[in-house]
Amino acid sequence: MEHASSPVRSLRPIIIIGACALSLTAAFALSDIYRGRSERQASAIAMTKGDPSHAPMIFRRYGCSGCHTIPGIEGADGKVGGDLSGLRERVYIAGVLNNSADNLVGWIVAPQAYSPKTAMPATGISDKEARDLAAYLFAH
């Protein structure tokens, strides 16, 4: 049984306040993470005029995940093509194009037009689908 003046009893309010402060800090950090994701997604949609929510299905339909590692796409751990993680932060696309939304869309649709010896195949992907993929990649 604790005595009324025990050190543990007198520390309880401090421990509770500390736990609350830690919880608030974690909540604010998560809020910042979600806000950052939301802002990146809004920016990616504005830049590309695409819908990133369509991208997972398109990546699978065209087999992109067989060659590329793609963040957030289950099973997309290919090692033939470049890792597409952090694409929005890169200076170049495939080492040959300045990194912009239009250049990325053009590369996805017709890579040989920019680099005739590229291993990336022409898939027949539409401009609209490429915009959806670009929006996803710039948002992640």
Residue 112: give its domain's CATH number: 1.10.760.10
User: Which tokens hold the place of 125?
Assistant: 């992907």
Query: Cβ neighbours of residue 52 under 8 Å, at least 6 residues apart?
Result: 41, 44, 45, 132, 135, 136, 139
Structure-block tokens of residue 15: 């421990």
Identify the domain containing residue 17 by its residue range: 7-139
Distance of alpha carbon 58 from alpha carbon 132, whole angstroms: 8
Number of domains in the chain: 1
Per-residue pLDDT at 30: 47
Question: At 70, is the secondary structure helix, strand, or coil?
Answer: coil
Q: Which of 46, 61, 48, 37 is nearest to 107 (CA)?
A: 48
Torsions phi, psi of 131, nearest 5?
Answer: -65, -40
Does any domain span residue 1? no
Q: What is the pLDDT of residues 83-134, one digit of tens each?
A: 999 999 999 999 999 999 999 999 999 999 999 999 999 999 999 999 999 9
Domain membership flag for residue 58: yes
Give the pLDDT score at 16. 65
pLDDT, tens digit, 9 for 90 and up, residues 1-56? 555 555 555 656 666 665 555 555 555 554 554 555 678 889 999 999 999 999 99
